[in-house]
Structures are given as structure tokens and as C-alpha cells.
């Protein structure tokens, strides 16, 4: 007989199972009864070895039951090594949207840092590998990869960019760290350009850490990011890196001279390793070895001449890198001989839930290249910016209620105006109507923010920047169109781009255009300049009018 109990400060839930198998759905049902509790703890008692079966099905949305429990140390740590989290339990726990306790997350990040810092900047791996590209917080797609390859019997090289853009970045990163702790000789985690403070502050990882854990866990994550190696050589033939090569070095041994325990953009070589790209006209670019990478606003494009010289100098076959989304999950850049000079691997299918691309991994046995493609797995829906449903829906409901109330008051005003002999009789009513109108405008602004809260953009906009999106339009966009319009989000981020949000806590990357416009003006001025423009029968859009210039005030320096 196996017993499952959920101990909480207020309530305890017990489940008696007829056999020695507990399904994850049993845990979900138990915890969901106490969904109002901020945190619960699962305790599992057994008389003999316990078997926990994962009966969830990604194809059935109703199986994704959010849970907020943490598993006690006694049960989540490996029975073989009590200093290491059990990766099987963590995998299923994260699948059901569970999380680690603050102490467990802290311990994991600190121990991972100590393990990573022992490695050199350039890893040397002398066995066949499976190379995985960018994951970007797509936890359920990461699990899809492990369905085809046993972790215990394979060696994995991850090319970086574990976090941001996707909404399960903590799950992806923490699970990979757990795997690294369990299989230090099988899991190799390189650093990507998103493993940095500037990118995670601009995109979603920082907000996700604050939402699911706290600022201390985020700081520990940044520290752990800096400990990851920068590149790897596989069987003396492949050079694995997130971005590419650099004109600042020719011999790969020079990479070990880089001080990697700092922000990416603080070192030239590290910036190039993590940010550079093949030239867009790679096959046609016969003249320039390197050119400024205007798409990234930093680092370089490298051409076929630069790659061939790099491979020849270091006696290598191919550069294998990530960093760029690909429609088929990969792209091969041919060299002057029969072998590919550069292979791009991107492992996040349907990137940002918008690209409709494949994900891919590459298998290399020392002689042969094999690429396996994947389609996306369904995942639980998360509101943009990790906003709760009450916060999300409040302005929609409030705006409609205030409109309804205004209609009644205005009708009352018309009636009283007809019956009244003096205008002073209507003054209190007019003031009340003015207050309701102001409230209605505020709700319209908040509603507009929520409608546009995403990293892509709506149909009316010319560019697909990070400031606004109507999510419903994503399915109608072709891969090439989405990639072109999303190009701003692929650039390095400056300090002045880390704008703040006004009415909601959300990462700057999902801040809508309306937020950007009112970020530097007072709320009273915003309300005066807001205009609600009808769009169709039921829709309406919020616009902020340009402030009228006053000639005399401008001359006197007040404008």
C-alpha cells in the first residue's frame, strides 16, 4: 500500500492507492484541491520501492494541471547520491509545472557553479556526441529530444541559449544543470549570448525568476551563466560554439586565455564567439573575410574565406553553431571541399510559438553527420509576462462596466438637464461623470497594454518589434515574414532599451507600444492626451495624441 500526502500549514490531503504505483495525475488532483495555498509540500510514504508513473499526455491540454508544491529533500534527492537531485523526479515535477524550493534551487546553482568552473574555456570531447542548439525556455520540446536518446548512454553538447523567449526557462536551465550534476561526463553545457544579464533583463528570464523564485536565485543564475565553457572540440574534428569565429584569434588554444567569468560584451573574443554569424551572402562572399554584423549591432559576419582559413589552421572539419533560427531546424554552409564548413543547429521548434519552424539535433560519430528534425510539442498556456488571470482580465471587465455606467449617467444627465432650470443643479453629476470618464480612459490604456503584450507585433505595424503584438495573428504569418519582422529582438541590448512598464510587471521585451509612449510622461498628461479610436463593430484602439506646441511657451523654454 502506497500513501501520498500533501502537508500544508492549513490542510493535509491523503490518497490511498490500491497498488504500488502513483500517477502524476494523482498528485495533481491532490494539490489542486488546495490551489489557494501559496505553497504545499508533497510527502510520499511507502513500505517498499516506490514507482511513480508519468501518465500525462502532451496532446491533451486538460492534463496540464498547474501545481505549486515543492517536493521535500528526502524524496527529491537521489537515493544513490544525496547531494544530487534525482533527475527523473525533477523531470516529471517540472512537466507538471512544479518548482524547486528556494533552498533546492540555491544549492543546485551553487554546486553547478563549482562544477562548471573546473572546466577550461575550450572543452575537448573525444567521443561521439549529440549536439543540441538553442532551446530558449521550451521545456516540453527539450523533453521530446530525450525521448529519442537515452541520457545514460549518450553524450550531449548543448550550444547555449537555454533561457529567454520561451516561458519555461527556469525549468530548462535547472533541469539541464540537474542532468549535468548527475552525468558530468555526458552533459556539456556551453554558454550562449542569452546567458547574460543584459539579455535576461530585457527578455523574460529575469521576470520568470522573480515570479517563480526570487531575486537571489536570479543573481545565482547570472553567476552560474558566467561559469559555462565557451566552446568545445569534438573528436578533433568539430568546433562547437554558440555563434562562430573571431578575427581576434586564429588558434583555438587562445580561447583558454579569455576570462569568461564576466558579462559577454566585456570581452572581444567572447563577444565574437557568442554573437557572430555566417555572412548572409556566405556562398557569394568571396572577398571579405569579416564584415560588421549590422543584424546584431555587434560582432562580425564571417565569410567562406575566414572559415576555411580557421578550419585549416586548427586542422578541423566543421564549425557547428546555433544562434540563428532555421526553418528546417538546421542549415549547412558548404566549404571548398566536400565537407560542410559550417552547420547551424537550432533546437526550438515553432520558436516563440510563431515561427512554425522545425527543431533539430545533430548526431556525430566521428565520421558521419546525421541530423534529426522535430516538430513542436504542445505545452501549457502561460499569460504574457506571467500575469495572473485576475490581473489580466481586470481592465477588460472594468472598461466595459465603466462604459455601461457612463451610458446610464449621461442619460440621467440629459433627463435632469431637461427638467432643471439652472446649470448648477447638474454640477455634482457632471463631476461624477468626469471621474468615470477618467477611470474609463485608464482602463482602456491597461486593456491596450494587455492586448499587445508580447514579443511580436500586430497586423497594422510595419515591423515586428518587441513592443507590441496581437498573438492571434501568429498563425497567419509565414516563417520568412516572422523572421524578418523579429530581427530587432535578435540584436544586442543597450541600457536605454530596458524600458519600464507602467501598469503591469513584465519584461521589457514584451512591453507594448502604448507603454513605450507613456513611459516618460506623467499619468495626468497621458489621460488628457488619450483618444479611443473605434475599430470595427466591437473593437477599439487607444492612441496618444501628440502634444500641441505653444509658440510662446517654447520661446520661454517651458516646452
- 228 belongs to the catalytic site: no
Least confident of 191-195, 203-207, 493-497: 493-497
Which range has the top average pLDDT, 68-72, 225-229, 464-468, 502-506?
225-229
Q: Which residues contact 441 (CB under 8 A, 6 or more apart)?
A: 527, 530, 532
**Whether pLDDT at 130 is above 50:** yes
Cross-strand bridge partners of residue 52: 22
Those residues with Cβ within 8 angstroms of residue 541's Cβ, 6 or more apart along the chain or in another chain: 448, 532, 533, 535
DSSP string, 507-527: -GGG--HHHHHHTTS-HHHHH
Q: Categorize the per-residue pLDDT at 150 as very low, low, confident or very high, splitting at 50, 70 and 90.
A: very high
Higher pLDDT, 346 or 490: 346
Residue 332 and residue 323: Cα distance in Å, rounded? Answer: 14
Q: Angle between the 87-95 and 139-148 helix axes, to the nearest 10 degrees?
A: 130
Closest alpha carbon to 457 in 473, 445, 444: 473
Find the catalytic residue in 34, 93, 136, 194.
Answer: 194
**What is the band of 519 on the pLDDT scale with cuts at 50, 70, 90?**
low
Distance CA 352, CA 456 (A): 9
pLDDT, greater one: 334 or 67: 334
pLDDT tens track for 201-230? 999 999 999 999 999 999 999 999 999 999
Phi, psi angle pair for 114, to nearest 5° = -65, -35
- On whether the CB atoms of residues 260 and 116 are closer than 8 A, the answer is no
Residue 44 has pLDDT above 70, yes or no: no
Q: Look at the block and give the residue holding cell 545565482.
A: 220
Task: Output the pLDDT for position 314.
Answer: 98
Nearest-angstrom CA–CA distance, 341 and 213: 42
Of the candidates 157, 189, 304, 188, the one whose C-alpha atom is nearest the C-alpha of residue 245 is 304
Q: Is the pLDDT of residue 162 over 70?
A: yes
Return the top range by mean pLDDT from 164-173, 394-403, 433-442, 462-471. Answer: 164-173
**4-18, 86-100, 235-249, 411-425: range with lowest mean pLDDT:** 4-18
Q: What is the pLDDT of residue 391?
A: 83
Distance of CA 135 to the CA centre of its chain: 9
492-519: average pLDDT:
62
Contact between residue 231 and residue 240 where contact means Cβ atoms under 8 Å apart: yes
* CA–CA separation, 400 and 484 (whole Å): 37
Contacts of residue 549, defined as CB under 8 A and 6 or more positions apart, other chains included, come to 559
All three cell numbers of 396: 477588460
Q: How far apart (Å, rounded) are the C-alpha atoms in residues 252 and 124?
A: 11
Q: Kindly state the cell numbers that stand for 195.
A: 546567458
- Please write the tens of the pLDDT for every residue from 252-272: 999 999 999 999 988 999 999
pLDDT bucket at 487, cuts 50 / 70 / 90 = confident
pTM of the model as a whole:
0.77
- How buried is 517 (Cβ within 10 angstroms: 0-12 exposed, 13-18 middle, 19+ buried)? middle
Contact partners, residue 164, CB within 8 Å, separation at least 6: 136, 137, 194, 199, 200, 203, 204, 205, 509
496 vs 88, which has greater pLDDT?
A: 88
- 372 SS3 class: strand
Q: Rounded to whole angstroms, how far apart are CA atoms 547 and 559?
A: 10
Task: State the Cα–Cα distance between residues 469 and 459, nearest whole angstrom.
Answer: 8
389-393, 448-452, 513-517, 553-557: segment of lowest average pLDDT: 553-557
Which one is predicted more confidently, 34 or 228? 228
- Summarize the confidence of residues 193-208 as an average pLDDT: 94
Amino acid at each position: 500500500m502506497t500513501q501520498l500526502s500533501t502537508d500544508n500549514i492549513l490542510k493535509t490531503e491523503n490518497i490511498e492507492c490500491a497498488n504500488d504505483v502513483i500517477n502524476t495525475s494523482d498528485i495533481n488532483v491532490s494539490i489542486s484541491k488546495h490551489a489557494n495555498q501559496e505553497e504545499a509540500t508533497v510527502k510520499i510514504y511507502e513500505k517498499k520501492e516506490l514507482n511513480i508513473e508519468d501518465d500525462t499526455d502532451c496532446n491533451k491540454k486538460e492534463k496540464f494541471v498547474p501545481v505549486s508544491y515543492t517536493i521535500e529533500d528526502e524524496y527529491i534527492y537521489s537515493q544513490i547520491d544525496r547531494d544530487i537531485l534525482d533527475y527523473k523526479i525533477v523531470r516529471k515535477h517540472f512537466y507538471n509545472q512544479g518548482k524547486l524550493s528556494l533552498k533546492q534551487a540555491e544549492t543546485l546553482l551553487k554546486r553547478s557553479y563549482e562544477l562548471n568552473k573546473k572546466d577550461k574555456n575550450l572543452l575537448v570531447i573525444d567521443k561521439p556526441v549529440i549536439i543540441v542548439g538553442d532551446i530558449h525556455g521550451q521545456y516540453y520540446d527539450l523533453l521530446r529530444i530525450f525521448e529519442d536518446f537515452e541520457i545514460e548512454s549518450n553524450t550531449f553538447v548543448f550550444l547555449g541559449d537555454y533561457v529567454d523567449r520561451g516561458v519555461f526557462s527556469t525549468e530548462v536551465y535547472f533541469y539541464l544543470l540537474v542532468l549535468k550534476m548527475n552525468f558530468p561526463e555526458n552533459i556539456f553545457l556551453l554558454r550562449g549570448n542569452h546567458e547574460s544579464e543584459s539579455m535576461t533583463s530585457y527578455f523574460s528570464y529575469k521576470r520568470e525568476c522573480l515570479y517563480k523564485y526570487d531575486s537571489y536565485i536570479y543573481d545565482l543564475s547570472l553567476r552560474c551563466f558566467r561559469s559555462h565553457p565557451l566552446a568545445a572540440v569534438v573528436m578533433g574534428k568539430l568546433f562547437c560554439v554558440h555563434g562562430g569565429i573571431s578575427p581576434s584569434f586564429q588558434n583555438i588554444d587562445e580561447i583558454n586565455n579569455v576570462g569568461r567569468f564576466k558579462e559577454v560584451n566585456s570581452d572581444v573574443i567572447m563577444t565574437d564567439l557568442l554573437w557572430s554569424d555566417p555572412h548572409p551572402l556566405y556562398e557569394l562572399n568571396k572577398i571579405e573575410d569579416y564584415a560588421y554584423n549590422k543584424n546584431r549591432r555587434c560582432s562580425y559576419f564571417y565569410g567562406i574565406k575566414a572559415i576555411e582559413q580557421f578550419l585549416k589552421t586548427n586542422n578541423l572539419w566543421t564549425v557547428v553553431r546555433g544562434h540563428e533560427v532555421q526553418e528546417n531546424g538546421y542549415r549547412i554552409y558548404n566549404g571548398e571541399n566536400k565537407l560542410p564548413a559550417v552547420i547551424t543547429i537550432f533546437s526550438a521548434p515553432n520558436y516563440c510559438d510563431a515561427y512554425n519552424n522545425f527543431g533539430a539535433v545533430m548526431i556525430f560519430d566521428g565520421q558521419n553527420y546525421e541530423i534529426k528534425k522535430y516538430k513542436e510539442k504542445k505545452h501549457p498556456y502561460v499569460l504574457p509576462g506571467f500575469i495572473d488571470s485576475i490581473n489580466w482580465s481586470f481592465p477588460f471587465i472594468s472598461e466595459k462596466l465603466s462604459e455601461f455606467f457612463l451610458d446610464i449617467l449621461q442619460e440621467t444627465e440629459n433627463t435632469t438637464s431637461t427638467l432643471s432650470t439652472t446649470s448648477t443643479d447638474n454640477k455634482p453629476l457632471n463631476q461624477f461623470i468626469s471621474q468615470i470618464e477618467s477611470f474609463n480612459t485608464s482602463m482602456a490604456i491597461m486593456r491596450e497594454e494587455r492586448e499587445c503584450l508580447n514579443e511580436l507585433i500586430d497586423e497594422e505595424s510595419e515591423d515586428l518589434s518587441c513592443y507590441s503584438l496581437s498573438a492571434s495573428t501568429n498563425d497567419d504569418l509565414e516563417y520568412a515574414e516572422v523572421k524578418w519582422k523579429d530581427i530587432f529582438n535578435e540584436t544586442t541590448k543597450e541600457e536605454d532599451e530596458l524600458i519600464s512598464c507602467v501598469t503591469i510587471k513584465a519584461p521589457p521585451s514584451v512591453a507594448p507600444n502604448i507603454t513605450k509612449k507613456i513611459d516618460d510622461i506623467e499619468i495626468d498628461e497621458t489621460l488628457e492626451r488619450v483618444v479611443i479610436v473605434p475599430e470595427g463593430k466591437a473593437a477599439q484602439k487607444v492612441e496618444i495624441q501628440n502634444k500641441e506646441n505653444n509658440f510662446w511657451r517654447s520661446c520661454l523654454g517651458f516646452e
